[in-house]
């Protein structure tokens, strides 16, 4: 019985470290005008290397009804809105296309000892930090515009590009 309790304590400690390590690997998130919940895009690593088959783990982080609760996307959410398609990979990076915005590719790569996403914002190579979606207040399924937000690799400035539907 004591041995079982020790094993459970060790597993709980390992799970805590695993979750903390995962949380430090955030690439970017999508926030929406509809509510304060966000869709998180975290890097997927296998033995410290980028998982080339599934380079990004996408999930909901609830900030409204159940603050701090996280849940996986539904199949419909992945296929129609928040998923992605892997376009190309090499040993250290993956180029992906977001389901909701197929016009601009995002590159998951290692940058200054961290995993980041590179994307063009206002024709400048940037590290993507957030995508903001402004929904129509009368029809939340209709998007008025999307903003790409990131940090310029050239000079560190914060750039925002608004893309209208």
Asked if the structure places residue 3 within a domain, the reply is no
Say whether pLDDT at 17 is over 90: no
**Residue 158 domain boundaries:** 26-164
pLDDT, mean of residues 137-165: 95
Asked if the structure places residue 8 within a domain, the reply is no
Asked if the structure places residue 72 within a domain, the reply is yes
* pTM of the model as a whole: 0.83
Asked if the structure places residue 6 within a domain, the reply is no
Asked if the structure places residue 123 within a domain, the reply is yes
Say whether pLDDT at 20 is over 50: no
Asked if the structure places residue 5 within a domain, the reply is no
pLDDT of residue 24: 54
CB–CB of 122/159 below 8 Å? yes
pLDDT classification of 3: cutoffs 50, 70, 90:
very low
SS (H, E, C) 50-87: ECCCCCEEEEEECCCCCCCCEEECCHHHHHHHHCEEEE
Domain count, the chain: 1
pLDDT classification of 22: cutoffs 50, 70, 90:
very low
Asked if the structure places residue 46 within a domain, the reply is yes
Residue range 102-115, pLDDT digits in tens: 889 999 999 999 99
Residue range 34-82, pLDDT digits in tens: 899 999 999 999 988 999 999 999 999 998 888 888 999 999 999 999 9
Q: Which two three-digit tokens encode residue 127?
A: 């590290």
pLDDT of residue 140: 83
Asked if the structure places residue 117 within a domain, the reply is yes
């Amino acid at each position: 019985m004591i041995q079982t309790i020790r094993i459970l304590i060790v597993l709980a400690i390992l799970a805590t470290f695993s979750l903390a390590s995962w949380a430090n690997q955030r690439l970017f998130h999508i926030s929406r005008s509809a509510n304060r919940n966000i869709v998180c895009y975290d890097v997927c690593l296998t033995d410290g290397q980028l998982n080339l088959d599934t380079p990004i783990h996408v999930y909901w982080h609830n900030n409204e009804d159940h603050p701090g609760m996280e849940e996986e996307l539904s199949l419909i959410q992945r296929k129609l809105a928040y998923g992605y398609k892997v376009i190309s990979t090499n040993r250290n990076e993956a180029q992906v296309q977001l389901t909701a915005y197929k016009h601009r590719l995002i590159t998951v790569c290692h940058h200054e000892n961290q995993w980041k996403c590179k994307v063009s914002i206002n024709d400048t190579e940037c590290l993507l930090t957030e995508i903001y979606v402004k929904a129509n207040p009368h029809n939340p399924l209709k998007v008025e515009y999307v903003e790409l937000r990131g940090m310029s690799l050239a000079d560190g400035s914060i750039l925002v590009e608004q893309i209208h539907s």
